Amino acid sequence: MEWIFSTDVHVLFWLHRLAGPHMNSFITLFTTGINCLWLWLGLAAAGLWNRRSRWMTLTIIVAVIMAIFIGDVALKHAVMRLRPYIVIDGAPVVEALKYPVSYSFPSGHSFFFFAGATVLYCYRHRLGILAYGLAAVVAFSRMYLFMHFPSDVLAGAILGVGVGYGAYRICQFIRKRVAVRLIR
């Protein structure tokens, strides 16, 4: 475990070489935006309202709920890894942001965004590729801010892809069952 911690710390400081006032402003604005609950509720409402995107939106909601239970409820409390900004002496923090005090492993943001990106990719490849790009920026931001170790982010991304695909398969199964019952 020591080599994982050592590698994580080296990667965090290597990534933070990009630090500067412009990057800090961008990351602060970006993080504030992705944490806006009203934005996500609005997108979910719009997706549910539109018949063409209803199943895709429902599947994303299922994936995110699964990610919350697996990541935030189960794994974070089982592993209980402290966040980098807490355990690394001299870890840089952006004063304008409120830093979470919950556990670090796995990265919930990476988990949620990669789960959602995977669902989007399963339904619409091009949109999914763009969503994976957004998920990668989210993952980078979590490391840049010293909120998560790289191994937390990697685990969140891998789990997110798995949960996103699982949610897609589950919702497709349910969708087919509903369609069969409507035909009868």
Torsional sign, CA 48, 111, 165, 176: negative
Residue that is written with structure tokens 């957004």 in the block: 134
CB 54 within 8 A of CB 48: yes
What pLDDT, on the 0 to 100 scale, is given for residue 162? 96
Range of the domain at 174: 2-183
What pLDDT, on the 0 to 100 scale, is given for residue 33? 82
Under-50 pLDDT residues of the chain: none
What pLDDT, on the 0 to 100 scale, is given for residue 180? 59
Q: Nearest 5 degrees, angle CA 158-CA 96-CA 65? A: 30
Helices (H), the chain: 2-15, 21-34, 37-49, 54-67, 76-79, 84-87, 108-123, 125-144, 150-183
CATH number, domain of 176, equals 1.10.606.20
Tokens of 123: 């339904």
What pLDDT, on the 0 to 100 scale, is given for residue 151? 93
Prediction pTM value: 0.87
What pLDDT, on the 0 to 100 scale, is given for residue 118? 95
| Domains identified in the chain, total number | 1
